[in-house]
Structure 1
Amino acid sequence: MSTADSLPELALVEAPELLLAAPTHVYVVTHSGLNAGKVGISGRVEGARIAAHLRAGWLLYRALLLPDRDAAVAVEAATLAELGNARGYVAPEDMRQGGSSETVDLSRVSAPELWRMVCRHADAVPAPRAPEPDAVVLYLASNHVELLAVGFVEPASWPGTRRVLRANRWRLEAGKVSPDRARAAVDAVAVFADQQGYRVDPYAPERSPSYSSYSLPFLSSAAAHASARAVVEGVLGAALHHDDE
């Protein structure tokens, strides 16, 4: 096998299609005649929502693009909560395009202060997690000093990982599985190693959101390698295949 695509798929669990939310702006607009400021959200700066404010005499003060609508809604809600009783300054009849409940008196909260609130709450929004891959390459590897490694990488990373292991004369068994099954298999081998009294040495203890690199090497014997393979295949309900060129 020369590429990840040629690896067999082992009990692959189909993940539902991930729908990526569109990036969304949090904006602040001001109106000199009303001496008012407003915070809101809009998909695009040139979109219909901000355009409606501009037609009503408001001016765009600042806009901040966030990764998705949920993040923008969270920042807007946190900003409005901080404003408390100060919001709702403009009467609904003076704001026919809507949004009066999100307005403030600029004499109480200036536009720069309102914008600083938005930015502070935006800083508190967690970074979006990378989508988990549908499948990863799960591998068992052993070398001439009887060091056993079990781990998994994303298919795109497998050729590089494979080359490194091959260059160090590791014998490989591998197959494509779902990330959940790969993690379960690796964890099961870690438990097995602990039960057998083998030294467990985490190679990459920090798991990335997509589990792109995680392995557990431990000193073993040929018998331990066979037992570890049996543990992995028991979790998968399928056999790993020798990765021969």
Structure 2
Amino acid sequence: MNESMLRAAFEPARTLEPTAAELARALRPRRRRRWPVFLGVAAAIAVTGTAATAVEPFRGALESLLSSDAGRPAPDAPDWLREKGTRVLAENDGAKLFVRREGDIVHVSLDSSFGQSGPVEDWAKQLGDRRLIVLGPSAPRANDTQRPLFGLTARGITRVELTYARGSSTFTSSATGGFALIVDLRRALGELIGYDAAGAVIERKDMRPVDLRICREVRGCPPGKLAPERDG
């Protein structure tokens, strides 16, 4: 096969060879793409050299919305958002809800099972929208028939009740800033209700879809003796 025939055979492949300009672009160091940082309330600030100066006015505006004083939560927020140090926010039969502040960060711990942290203003905003917040349960106790359930309350709620589909309710003796309830896992849940000092209902939450049981011997919790009692 002569040279002209070889050139004709391999001509289609030559069109795939990169040009000098394409090689230069491929070898050029790539710039890292800088993604914008979203700061809630649909506000977005690009990560540039001037981003830090843009954050301060935004933070100041947010604090003024949430606070009566700069850096303090709204008047209806519980006292623990203002106080610093570790304290027991709620306790019931040995189950404890711990709160600790480090500067603008608040740490919440459910016994020793679970914890979450966030800025003061985020907690205050959450409580501003909802008066009664369920944080979650800690580990079961008493042969898996009881389980502590913890939550937060806005200022004004002094007592929390958990009703069941059958039988008497579970109450907290007090709920200033938070609550700890010992849930009877043998009964289906009803409502979580927050009251003020006069006994008026401040907020209700439907707890019927919530199932706090842990069935260790089987996969999931099938119907039968492991299921909590329900009406009907």
The alignment's TM-score, normalised by the length of structure 1, stands at 0.23
| Larger helix share, 1 or 2 | 1
The alignment's TM-score, normalised by the length of structure 2, stands at 0.24
| Larger strand share, 1 or 2 | 2
